[in-house]
Structures are given as C-alpha cells and as structure tokens.
Amino acid sequence: MAFAATPALPTRQRRGATERIFPKLSLQNAHLPPHAYTTLPDSTPVCRLIKLLHPRDPSPNNVSRTLDTLLAHGFQTFSLPATLHPSAATYVRLIGPSSAEKLQLCTRLDINPLNFQTVSRRTVEDLVDEHLRSLSLERLHMVQLSWADFRDERYLDFISELSELQRLGKLRSVGTANFPTRQLRYLHSQGLRVASNQVPFCLLDERPLTQMASFCAQHGIALVGGNSLGGGFFTERFLGLPEPRKSACSPALLRFAGVIRVWGGWGLFQQLLYEMKGIADKYGVSMANVAVKWVLRQPVMAVVIGIENAEYCKSNLRPFHFDLDDEDVAALESVARKGNDLFTILGDSGSEFQVHR
C-alpha cells in the first residue's frame, strides 16, 4: 500500500499559560458516574479508566496524595510499575486494611524467558509474592503477563501457575498484555483462560478491530486499550507545530512517532489533530478526552491512561460526562483512515513488542 499524501503543515501560536482551554464543562465536586465501572469476565470489578501512575515525583507523599485524590473522585483501579510499589505501600499502610480493599492495585510481569532457566510454581509464586510484599498487600487485584518471545512457549506454564495462584487467593484476576490473537487462540486451545488482554488501541491504531476484538468477544476475554493518547501526542501540546526532534521526545513519544511515520506522516497527523481540536472545542473538553472517548466507544472493557499527579484528576473525569455523536466519529475516522493499514504493516496488535522482530 502506498503512503498517504501528507498535507501542508498548519501552524499556530503557542498557548499562554493562563489561557482557558476547557471553558464549557464544569466538573466541580464531580465524581465518576455508574457507567464508569464494569466487571471483567471473571467478575473482577474495574474502573473503565485504569490509571497508570508515572509521577515525576515518586515520593511516598506525592504518590499517596495522588492515590487519595483519585480515590475521592471515584477512580479505583490502578496499574503501578514496580518502581512505585514502595511509595504505594506507604499509602496502603496509612489507610489500613479495610480502606485498602477499595484500592484495586494491578501489576504487570514483563518477562523475557531468556532470564528463566525453568518456569515452575516456585518461580511464578516468588514473583507474585515479591509484588505482594512490596505493596504490603495480601492479594493483587490483577496480574498481567507480558511475554517477550512467543517462540518460547513457557508462557503457557506461566499462565497456568498464575491461574493456580488465583485459585489460592493471591490474586483476583489473570490477564495478559500485548498477546496477539494467535497466542490468545493457542492459550484457549490448551484449556487456559485469561480475563483480559491489553494492547495498543487508538485512532491511528485500530488493529484490534481486525480480528482480536471478535475473538475476545467470542471467548469471554476483556479487551483493554493501551497507549490511547499516542504516548502523549493526542494533546494540544503538538497542535500546529513541526514534528519534534528525537532529542526532545520521551521514550513513549519516540515509540509513537515511529507509528505516525508508518501510518502516514506528520502532516496527515496534524489534520487529525485539528479535527480532534474542533470536536474538543465543541464539547469544552481536551483533545486527550476526545481521544479516550473514541476508544471507550469501541469494543473495549477499559482504557489504561497514564497520570502524573492529582492535578489531572478533573480532566480525567470528562470522558464520562460527554459523548461523541455519529458526525464526530465519522469526521475523526475519515482522517484516520487516510493513512496506511497498520495491521498490514506491523502485524497483529502486540506483535511489535517481540524481541526477535
């Protein structure tokens, strides 16, 4: 498929620091509505916006303040990198066991099988116990397995042992991350079950709709969208500006910059941002809110959204307080589909994370 032609690059002035961007939708004292919550196929409750904490300040005080604010507004499900476990554990101990039950703390096991001579009950249980100790918890809400090389089929053993630990009460839900449909199908053929699978899903990356969404729906697997903000590119910060230099990009931005280039280039991406901006202004929300809302309208159970601190809390409420109409969706998708088919170029969702590619 030939690359889509890129339009002339629009330009704009940078916003002043005090300019109001979201004047219409007031969320003072707002909380999440009932439709912001759901349950996975194994009856595990989750918020449809799962908060991935990545604060610039990882201190116990800042992490505790962020968790406390998010909980107060109704956010309950949190994905925590291992580096934040000690700070989160401080908050868990502070609020006590009964209050800590409200915290739906999820963690991910990023496994490169080259680092494991054997995969046994002891191997997997030691990893889970390490996470439990570091978080001061007796049970993890959800554990996601991410596997770096599917040529090594010991991920079947890992899932089997996690399922046994689930039965023993050490974790509530077993999920996967970045498993292509082929591996989900193989798991199912071996009699193994997972409740969810998290893969990249955004306006530029609709690969889950090609085959994964239908397989998940047929076999009771919740599809969870990740990277729905394009590493941060779906924001006012990049509207009307030239493509940023690599030296100015975070690792997340660098990864998605490659996706943009494969999809159709920076000029076409700017067309999509301007379309998104018009819709955001229509509802008095942010462009990020529009990007998240589009994914929430797809066949997904939840979306994982990164958050730096409690100041982002009110903005994160907005996707549950407005809706996109058919005209909005058609306008966004008409631009997004001018680009290349990422399924054809990159393969199924998650396959790009394999170490041998």
- Low pLDDT (below 70) residues in the chain: 1-30, 357
pLDDT at res. 308: 80
CATH number at residue 234: 3.20.20.100
One DSSP character per residue, 255-314 reads HHHHHHHHHT-HHHHHHHHHHHHHHHHHHT--HHHHHHHHHHTSS-SEEEEEE-SGGGHH
Q: Quote the CA–CA distance of 344 and 164 in Å, as a whole number.
A: 37
Q: Is residue 16 part of a domain?
A: no
> What pLDDT score was predicted for residue 125?
97
262, 343 Cβ separation under 8 angstroms: no
Amino acid present at 36: A
In a domain, 25, yes or no: no
Whether residue 27 lies inside any domain: the answer is no
- The pLDDT assigned to 26 comes to 47
Is residue 29, in this structure, part of any structural domain at all?
A: no
Question: Is 254 domain-assigned?
Answer: yes
Q: Domain span at residue 136?
A: 41-353
CB 110 within 8 A of CB 354: no
Q: Is residue 147 part of a domain?
A: yes
350, 342 in Cβ contact below 8 A? no
Write out the two tokens for 125: 């249980």
- What is the model's pTM? 0.90
Say how far apart CA 102 and CA 51 lie, in whole Å. Answer: 14
Please give the tally of structural domains in the chain.
1
The reply to whether 215 falls in a domain is: yes
- Regarding beta strands 37-39 and 45-47, do their DSSP bridges make them parallel or antiparallel, or are they unpaired? antiparallel
> Distance (Å, rounded) from C-alpha 268 to C-alpha 348?
23
Looking at residue 56, its pLDDT comes to 86
6-39 tens-digit pLDDT: 344 444 443 333 233 334 444 455 689 999 999 9
In a domain, 80, yes or no: yes
How far is Cα 192 from Cα 112, in angstroms, rounded to an integer?
A: 20
